[in-house]
Structure 1
Amino acid sequence: MKWLTRRGRQARSANRACVCDPPWPALEAEFNGYVLPVLPAEHGSVLSVSGALGDARCSRCRAIYPRRWVTAPDAPIPFDWAHENDT
């Protein structure tokens, strides 16, 4: 996976806007093979601002979300060891 600077993510996202109606109906990000629900936020989080979680995308049209976001409070833990006992 190629890590991009914040500026690179914004430039790439500016090329394609969300075409859904209403815009940005649901957001998601992928981390460690898990798709996590994410929410728009004014402040962002350390992981989303630093690029550790990659880009947030519209879950329908896959457009890259151009603003700050955080993982949803009920998002699953994105590590395999956290799911070892799941049945």
Structure 2
Amino acid sequence: APPKIRAFFDEPTNTVSYLVWDPATKDGAVIDPVLDWDHKSGTADTAFADRMVKAAGEEGVAIRWVLETHAHADHLTAAC
């Protein structure tokens, strides 16, 4: 069976991140996760990435990998 793919759009950075998984094993990867950054306060939070983790749980997916496809000049990564 082909991999399952779920896209997540982050409006503030105009970025799409992905949750991808093997439907047979339920092993998955998060691709290019966004870290929420507030320039005015200088604070960060993981609300966007938390949505992806929640979706993985709802699908029964075990996130095995976090992948960055390129250097991100447009947003901070939530890969850590």
**TM-score normalised to the size of structure 2?**
0.29
**Structure number having the greater strand percentage:** 2
Q: Which has the higher contact order (CA 8 A, sep 6+)?
A: 1
TM-score, normalised via structure 1 length: 0.28
